Amino acid sequence: MYFEIRLRKPEGVFYIVLMPKSSRSKSKTKSQAPKSTNHSHPKARLISSRTVYRGPAFWVTTDQVQEPGGVSVRRDIIHHSGSVVILAVDDSGPTPHVLLERQYRHAAQDYLWELPAGRIDPGEKPLPAARRELLEETGYTAAHWRRILHFYASPGFVAEAMSVFLATGLRAGQAKPEPDEIIHKRMVPLPAAIRMVMTDKIRDAKTISSVLWLDHRVGRGDLSKI
């Protein structure tokens, strides 16, 4: 809504537009309104789904879905029961040390440096799974546990979610790996682990994100709070 005042002069007609004060106030209020959360956004509508593969570690479905934008598409999704990652840190000295493993990964066709990690068994809770995996793969137990990160490994087509647990107060013990697991473990000073990330020696995403998280906390002076 607006008002016009017309002034006639020989050169032509000039307009002065006066906007009501209340309209400006409403406009400002609207611009300052909080944005809607992701929970209010529409999701895809599942039209049909069929399992095309089921193995011991994951299963695959072919889904027909209607995306939030209205487009109908086919999505092939890898489903997984979820994984745990353990950022095991020896914080007994002035420089934190991170427990890393080196093992062969056939999908990458190479040996990779990684944090201890593993699948959550059906019916198992994440924290007990993290305790179990740390003991089985490395022999270590930890006095203190805290979940620090939760993310999707590759959300374009993999439904696997990963929970990263910070484990401190470590105590060494006897590892109990699976028959097909040949794992070499090493305690690496945090600065060296960061160099491994930055020089492409650590190429595993879960390990990169967790090591960078730790470095950020230490850099802020939060070492006593990790």
Ordered per-residue pLDDT tens for the chain, 226 residues? 444 444 444 444 444 444 444 444 444 444 444 454 555 688 889 999 999 999 988 999 999 999 998 999 999 999 999 999 999 999 999 999 999 999 999 999 999 999 999 999 999 999 999 999 999 999 999 999 999 999 998 999 999 999 999 999 999 999 988 888 889 999 999 999 999 999 999 999 999 999 999 999 998 776 555 6
User: Which of 74, 67, 59, 108 lies closest to 207, judged by CA?
Assistant: 108
Residues 6+ apart with CB under 8 A from 170: 88, 89, 90, 99, 140, 141, 142, 143
pTM higher than 0.85? no
Residues with a catalytic annotation lie at 181
Q: Judging by beta carbons within 10 Å of its beta carbon (0-12, 13-18, 19+), is residue 222 exposed, middle or buried? A: exposed
Q: Which helix (H) or strand (E) holds 98?
A: strand 97-105
d(CA 180, CA 10): 94
Q: Decide: helix, strand or coil at residue 153.
A: coil
